[in-house]
């Protein structure tokens, strides 16, 4: 089993309320890879990106190596460095500040041959709307071409729009890129709020009509809506006390894709996804050790 998650790993600074900050690593595609690895220790899991050649980039690679996550043929960009964001706390409210305009990950499609090598032999290749948003238009086309090639060679393509409007020039640009991505996808894992539809059923049926064979609409603590060629189902969420929703959707995607990679049915995979997400929201932080 070989899984590739394509995206950006950022440095995360977290306010500890006493004038100290702790540093970690985060990113939506990275979070998903983390949970696929946790659930499938026997699988080959890769995080496909681009890295700098500074000390912080070395720490990123060390972190991934310790987690059992490879980097396939991800390039190292001379002079580049990771993106950074800080989480500040004001009472119980969090605010985020980003420095990512020169992130090395923006160059993840700068070497088309390396990207093709990274996706070669994948059973599932996964990417998100944030992956698309950080790329310049020519590199986005390179990514689409690499995904088309991987799909032609037997990979299933999974896409989560994970819509972040601030990363796009405007909403229309984002929706155009998402339409291209959905046209490539075998599995779609959107959040209901990102789809601008009246109901999860309407959202899923629109994507199914566009050619996506398998759709799971994430609806937070409400049931996920599953639509495949065999019909539809609502998969109830696992109810827990919510402490921190950071990484909830990413972990759901990891739980679902790990299930599909291991041969579970879509229904069984969605139930597993809910169980994983429930553990994540019941604790602080996006990356936890599953129990």
pLDDT value, residue 88: 76
pLDDT value, residue 200: 95
pLDDT value, residue 101: 87
Inform me whether the pLDDT recorded for 198 exceeds 90.
Answer: no
Residue 89 lies in a domain: no
Residue 194 lies in a domain: yes
Residue 52 lies in a domain: yes
Average pLDDT over residues 62-80: 97
pLDDT value, residue 16: 72
pLDDT tens digits for 88-119? 766 556 678 889 988 999 999 999 999 999 99
pLDDT value, residue 184: 96
pLDDT value, residue 91: 56
Residue 37 lies in a domain: yes
pLDDT value, residue 90: 65
Contact 238, 224 (CB under 8 A): no
Residue 65 lies in a domain: yes
From 179, 193, 211, 223, select the one nearest 203 (Cα to Cα): 193
Roughly how many angstroms between the first and final C-alpha of the chain, as a whole number?
A: 23
Q: Which of 160, 171, 250, 289 is catalytic?
A: 250
pLDDT averaged over every residue in the chain: 93
Contact 35, 291 (CB under 8 A): no
Residue 156 lies in a domain: yes
Considering only CA atoms, give the Rg of the chain.
Answer: 18
pLDDT tens digits for 18-60? 778 889 998 999 999 999 999 999 999 999 999 999 999 999 9
The CATH number covering residue 234 comes to 3.40.1190.20
Active site (annotated) includes residue 123: no
Inform me whether the pLDDT recorded for 138 exceeds 60.
Answer: yes
Average pLDDT over residues 189-201: 92
What is the spatial distance between Cα 223 and Cα 274, in angstroms, rounded to a whole number?
A: 9
pLDDT tens digits for 233-268? 999 999 898 888 888 999 999 999 999 999 999 999
Percent of the chain with pLDDT over 90: 81
Taking the CB of residue 171, how many other CB atoms lie within 10 A of it? Answer: 11
How are the residues of the chain apportioned to helix, strand and coil, as percentages rounded to the nearest 5? Answer: 40, 25, 35
pLDDT value, residue 86: 87
Question: Domain range for residue 36?
Answer: 2-8+28-74+108-281
Instruction: Name the domain count of the chain.
Output: 1
């Amino acid at each position: 089993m070989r899984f590739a998650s394509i995206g950006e790993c950022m440095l995360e600074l977290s306010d500890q309320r006493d004038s100290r900050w702790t540093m970690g690593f985060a990113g939506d595609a990275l979070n998903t890879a983390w949970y696929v690895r946790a659930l499938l220790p026997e699988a080959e899991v890769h995080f496909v990106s681009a890295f700098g050649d500074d000390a912080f980039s070395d720490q990123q690679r060390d972190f991934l190596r310790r987690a059992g996550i490879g980097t396939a043929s991800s390039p190292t960009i001379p002079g580049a460095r990771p993106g950074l964001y800080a989480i500040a706390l004001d009472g119980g409210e969090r605010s985020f500040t980003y420095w990512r305009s020169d992130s090395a990950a923006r160059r993840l499609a700068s070497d088309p041959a390396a990207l093709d090598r990274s996706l070669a032999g994948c059973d599932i290749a996964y990417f998100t709307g944030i992956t698309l948003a950080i790329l310049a238009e020519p590199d986005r086309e390179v990514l689409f071409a690499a995904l088309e090639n991987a799909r032609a060679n037997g990979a299933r393509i999974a896409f989560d729009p994970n819509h972040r409007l601030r990363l796009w020039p405007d909403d229309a640009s984002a929706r155009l890129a998402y339409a291209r991505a959905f046209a490539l996808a075998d599995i779609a894992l959107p959040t209901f709020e990102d789809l601008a539809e009246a109901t999860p059923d309407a959202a899923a049926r629109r994507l199914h009509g566009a050619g996506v064979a398998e759709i799971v609409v994430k609806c937070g603590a409400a049931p996920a809506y599953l639509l495949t060629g065999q019909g539809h189902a609502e998969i109830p969420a696992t109810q827990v006390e919510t402490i921190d929703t950071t990484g909830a959707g990413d972990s759901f995607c990891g739980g679902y894709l790990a299930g599909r990679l291991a041969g579970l049915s879509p229904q069984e995979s969605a139930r597993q996804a809910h169980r994983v997400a429930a553990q994540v929201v019941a604790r602080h932080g996006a990356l936890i050790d599953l129990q």
